[in-house]
């Protein structure tokens, strides 16, 4: 997306399974569905992950359309995901569908597809990312 300095993200509990996510002065809430013990007041973290992907794709599509003088009216990005087999706690697959405005010339679609490939969230999800999970006050236990 942009090259601005990454801001820290902080998450704090609200009530029950609901949390507030704060970044750069903005707040997002996450929760769990009722059938999983939450109060269903907000999307789940996994839904936000998939939503971040869809939003990133929409951002790149919108910028592409603007550069080519095509209005964003009619642009929509829809994402669906499936969870991995029972016992695994990860997303197995994500399907993203981009609905383009009707006035986008068909010859621009290959270029749009290339631009959408530059989505930072997509590239992060499709390549291994280094992840360090640390418990404050306790040394990190690196494998090996």
Strands (E), the chain: 9-15, 18-23, 26-30, 76-83, 91-99
Q: What is the pTM of this model?
A: 0.89
Residue 130 DSSP code:
-
Alpha-carbon span 130 to 142, nearest angstrom: 12
**CATH superfamily of this structure's domain 44-126:** K homology (KH) domain (3.30.300.20)
Alpha-carbon span 59 to 23, nearest angstrom: 19
Alpha-carbon span 108 to 98, nearest angstrom: 14
Alpha-carbon span 144 to 16, nearest angstrom: 36
* Each residue's pLDDT expressed in tens, for the chain with a length of 144 residues: 457 789 999 999 999 999 999 999 999 999 999 999 999 999 999 999 999 999 999 999 999 999 999 999 999 999 999 999 987 899 999 999 999 999 999 999 999 999 999 999 999 999 988 988 888 888 666 554
* Domain residue limits, the chain: 1-42, 44-126
Return the sign of the alpha-carbon dihedral for residues 88, 46, 82, 120: negative
């Amino acid at each position: 997306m942009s090259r601005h300095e990454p801001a820290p993200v902080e998450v704090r509990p609200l009530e029950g399974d609901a949390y507030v996510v704060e970044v750069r002065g903005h707040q997002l809430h996450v929760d769990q569905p009722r059938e999983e013990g939450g109060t269903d007041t907000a999307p789940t973290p996994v839904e936000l992950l998939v939503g971040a992907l869809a939003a990133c794709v929409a951002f790149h599509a919108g910028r592409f359309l603007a550069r080519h003088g095509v209005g964003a009216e009619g642009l929509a990005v829809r994402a669906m995901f499936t969870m991995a087999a029972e016992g695994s706690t990860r997303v197995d697959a994500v399907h993203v569908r981009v609905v383009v405005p009707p006035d986008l010339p068909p010859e621009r679609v290959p270029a749009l597809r290339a631009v959408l490939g530059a989505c930072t969230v997509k590239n992060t999800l499709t390549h291994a990312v280094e992840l360090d999970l640390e418990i404050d006050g306790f040394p990190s236990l690196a494998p090996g």
